[in-house]
Structure 1
């Protein structure tokens, strides 16, 4: 028994060393971070406290806050990356022992592009995934101490803060705290009555929504006025769906638009359909006349036409949506879906204003070359990670300890998050479903800490005894 205890303790320490070493390697390889146009414009907004894009105001505020402490994105990168490392480290305290298999798995994980490179990219998608993981890690700590002498308020507060921020960073980020609230309600129900379950679940969700809304208000620059990013994003989605459905079904009537502007209707039907692809919406921007015609239409006309397609011609809408989702989820041609990004690139006016030089250093090129080794492997397959998440969630719900329920909720939230892109996706960029990959890796590591082999064998033996004549 003493030998097992020493081995378990040694494995726990080894796991900590592996994860912290991976964190340091990630920073050394990527700092101060890789920045695309999206990264640069949000850093610009945060530094100058303006709103010029439809990116989340809170993410720009976070970048600006770290930038004011140390100019650039290096400090932000250290914080964002440690959300993942700290969350994975905290999983050790949720299990009675740590297996050496978990140490080996962690060593492989920190060397994958998913952690080594993606954590170095300054993207809201990565930050959302990190926040969601941190929220579930804090919630797992809370429920593991639920029956203790004191209520684990510090862990609940951490979960509340992380979930509230996550809901602001992604338009569909509310899915994560929703599943967190369901997990909290489940655990509370097991410790009391349904009223307690309702209070903790509904109360936790309402508190998260309230704090998230407050964050959104405080992050909005005062001189920017009301935040219209959500409305503009919805309008862009409507444009894509109208053009896409028309391309899928050439006979699709566009009566609402035709009655208001026959020229716009013809542009959509002919030029829009010629440029349409389920890979991404950006190709529609190649036709300036089409773009001007679409944005010249009043909101009520666009949304009325969109609604008419959804209700009267669901076949065209669903076919278009299925094709778009197939590309973002299955990524049939991974090279078309921006699987990895390194370096700094953006408009000269933007980079000059930020004092950041566009560049691709030899180390960046080496990281890109390294990532290409994995492009055609399961490590760049959302389908693979979805299967891992589904199986892991099933095993955890079968074992059904308190922390298991929370980690299973995280995995299910990642699957639901991915599924939501069937409705909102406008491009197949691999980063959009990064949360699914990260959650699946974290859930698998949690399972590897203390594999349920023994319990499975005991249950099988008990089942055989019960069925024996």
Structure 2
């Protein structure tokens, strides 16, 4: 049937068919813990900023029309995911890069990515919006046509949604937005660097105002989680008197009960076993908490850096055991009374395979991060269209992953969904053109070193387990 079609039509049709298959296979999507919490806001009509209010407000539109459950949001992120990948693959096929086009479509089926993309959660929404924006621009750029105002409007809406749907999305969105829409090409890298910084600062300043004034989200105290996580890490390493904002007796009790962790902050959340530390912070102004956080960092930089590097290693899954929690995609919806259903049992088998691959070095965010760095070192964005797009994607991935060095409180694999997709897409685009062999060989050796050291750690370190509860023991 496809033999008589143009190459771009073949890949566009293939992406559409795969989209339909994915919708049927995973329907109605998996309701994560965050999904249930957000849907509770949709049902009650009371919104807060712990989870992105833009996603809850969008979800409320389908709920108001009588379409209950997670199906509408799952359909949205699946359609955007395959639309973006399909447009990119079709653009590559039209330009003659058919192997690259096939690789793009295959990447959309890569189990560690697809398994997590089946969760109706902010990370999947962000990744889908960004890949859709990338696909629209790629379709125009590979044909050497201007993006046009209609496509530009669509791209801006997608980028804006991605920006608001995750608190730290600005690190991924700012470089991608500049790379996709700013004129001049990457040869004007100095001006683009300034523009990326300006976009990031504007987004950081405006996002809280948009959440509060446009989406009507009440403050939840989520901003204090990062200071608490870091102050606990400092106190664990530098002693109970290192962070005087919380009494030394509280830090000593936390230490005796082994509450502190560089992997995630969840032991301190309300309802968990170490939530009593919240009593020492309740009612404190946010400015006071942030000031104490900064003082602790300045007073104990070694303890802070040790804590942050340990966390970055955990979330990037470099030197970790093979079975490290939060790598296996969730196959069943969290039990709830809101009508959020669970997909069929076929998803359980699929996610076992996805989890094995995600736990392996091939599924580690650190390997994708290294690949993105290699793209930045090898690409010629001023000369080759595919390389210009590759640099935009690689910068987005690198900036997002690097941000976890300083702003991250958990190590879920889903946080890296966009970064890993963008990194591997950038590598596919890079390989559409011959590369300088000597530099490419060095990059390949570094990638092999990352993979081998990751494998060694997985084989030698004691296993923890795959479930979330293993991290809270």
TM-score range for the pair, normalised by the shorter chain length: 0.7 to 0.9
Alignment of 1:296-311 (within 5 A): 297-311=284-298
Secondary structure at 2:307 match in 1? helix
Give the whole-Å Cα distance in 1 for the aligned partners of 2:104 and 2:186: 32
Give the whole-Å Cα distance in 2 for the aligned partners of 1:220 and 1:291: 27
Aligned to 1:22: 18
The answer to whether residue 70 in structure 2 is matched with residue 87 in structure 1 is no
**Alignment deviations for residues 208-255 of structure 1 (CA, whole Å, 9 cap, x no partner):** 88996786457524xx5xx424xx222111111111111012265333
Aligned to 2:219: 228
**Alignment deviations for residues 306-353 of structure 1 (CA, whole Å, 9 cap, x no partner):** 12111121111111111111111125136433111111114xxxx22x
The answer to whether residue 69 in structure 2 is matched with residue 72 in structure 1 is yes
Alignment of 1:178-327 (within 5 A): 178-183=174-179, 187-188=183-184, 216=211, 220-221=215-216, 227-229=218-220, 232-250=221-239, 252-257=241-246, 264-272=247-255, 274-284=258-268, 285-295=272-282, 297-327=284-314
Indicate how the Cα distance of structure 1 residues 125 and 185 shifts in structure 2: closer, same or farther if over 3 A, else same: closer
Deviation at 1:416, TM superposition (A): 0.6
Give the whole-Å Cα distance in 2 for the aligned partners of 1:107 and 1:203: 34
Indicate how the Cα distance of structure 1 residues 209 and 330 shifts in structure 2: closer, same or farther if over 3 A, else same: closer
- Does the 8 Å CA contact 1:30/1:120 hold for their aligned counterparts? yes
Q: TM-score, normalised by structure 2?
A: 0.78
- Does the 8 Å CA contact 2:31/2:70 hold for their aligned counterparts? no
Aligned to 2:51: 55
Aligned to 1:162: 158
The answer to whether residue 394 in structure 2 is matched with residue 407 in structure 1 is no
Aligned to 1:136: 134
The count of aligned residue pairs is: 429
- Does the 8 Å CA contact 2:74/2:118 hold for their aligned counterparts? yes
Deviation at 1:304, TM superposition (A): 3.0
Give the whole-Å Cα distance in 2 for the aligned partners of 1:426 and 1:58: 22
Indicate how the Cα distance of structure 1 residues 334 and 418 shifts in structure 2: closer, same or farther if over 3 A, else same: farther
Aligned to 2:465: none
Give the whole-Å Cα distance in 2 for the aligned partners of 1:130 and 1:168: 14
Deviation at 1:7, TM superposition (A): 9.5
The answer to whether residue 309 in structure 2 is matched with residue 336 in structure 1 is no
- Pick aligned residue for 1:452 from 433, 442, 447: 433
Secondary structure at 2:405 match in 1? helix
Q: Which has the higher helix share?
A: 1
Q: Which has the larger radius of gyration?
A: 1
- Does the 8 Å CA contact 2:23/2:75 hold for their aligned counterparts? yes
Alignment RMSD (CA, Å): 3.7
Secondary structure at 1:435 match in 2? helix
Give the whole-Å Cα distance in 2 for the aligned partners of 1:49 and 1:249: 44
Alignment of 1:95-114 (within 5 A): 97-102=95-100, 104-106=102-104, 108-114=106-112
Indicate how the Cα distance of structure 1 residues 313 and 44 shifts in structure 2: closer, same or farther if over 3 A, else same: same
Give the whole-Å Cα distance in 1 for the aligned partners of 2:209 and 2:49: 20
- Pick aligned residue for 2:121 from 100, 123, 128: 123
- Does the 8 Å CA contact 2:373/2:394 hold for their aligned counterparts? yes
- Does the 8 Å CA contact 2:85/2:105 hold for their aligned counterparts? no
Aligned to 1:426: 409
Give the whole-Å Cα distance in 2 for the aligned partners of 1:23 and 1:291: 45
**Alignment deviations for residues 437-468 of structure 1 (CA, whole Å, 9 cap, x no partner):** 111233244446xx213x869xxxxxxxxxxx
Q: TM-score, normalised by structure 1?
A: 0.79
- Does the 8 Å CA contact 1:256/1:304 hold for their aligned counterparts? no
**Alignment deviations for residues 374-429 of structure 1 (CA, whole Å, 9 cap, x no partner):** 24434421112112222334444356434532331122111111111111211111
Question: 5+ residue gaps in structure 1?
Answer: 1-5, 258-263, 458-469
